[in-house]
């Protein structure tokens, strides 16, 4: 499945499609830049999702406070259970580097798409 196909699939979910970026999120992205946002996404994926058994799995990703957290929920990359349900990535195995890169790419695509048109 391509990123666009995944985003379209997520857009049909009532829960996943309710996540939006706020004006504060957009200002934060503009202030820190895309490189920092992508680095944060990579850090969050590595720390919160990549281990076979992440600490507090299912409750490790806040629903607000950072644009990447919103993206993680919107893209079903918030916990290993959602990743298994939506993307077929089994729980109990560490994420490969490729899976981590794919997760970051999906998160960044969602953030770019969620920005209001200017």
Q: For the chain, first and last CA: distance in Å? A: 29
Q: Which residue has the higher pLDDT, 75 or 118?
A: 75
How confident is the model over 55-86, as pLDDT tens digits? 888 888 888 889 999 999 999 999 999 999 99
Grouping H, G, I as helix, E, B as strand and the rest as coil, residue 115 is coil
Report how far residue 34's alpha carbon sits from residue 82's, in angstroms, rounded to the nearest whole number: 26
How confident is the model over 6-53, as pLDDT tens digits? 999 999 999 999 999 999 999 999 999 999 999 999 999 999 999 999
Grouping H, G, I as helix, E, B as strand and the rest as coil, residue 40 is helix
Query: pTM here?
Result: 0.93
């Amino acid at each position: 499945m391509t990123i666009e196909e995944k985003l379209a699939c997520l857009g049909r979910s009532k829960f996943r499609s309710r996540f939006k970026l706020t004006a504060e999120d957009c200002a934060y992205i503009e202030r820190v830049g895309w490189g920092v946002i992508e680095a944060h996404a990579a850090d969050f994926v590595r720390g919160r999702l990549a281990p076979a058994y992440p600490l507090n799995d299912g409750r490790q990703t806040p629903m607000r406070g950072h644009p990447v957290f919103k993206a993680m929920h919107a893209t079903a990359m918030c916990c290993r259970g959602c990743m298994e349900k939506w993307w077929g990535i089994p729980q109990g195995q560490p994420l490969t580097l490729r899976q981590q890169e794919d997760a970051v790419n999906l998160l960044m695509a969602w953030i770019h798409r969620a920005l209001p048109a200017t």
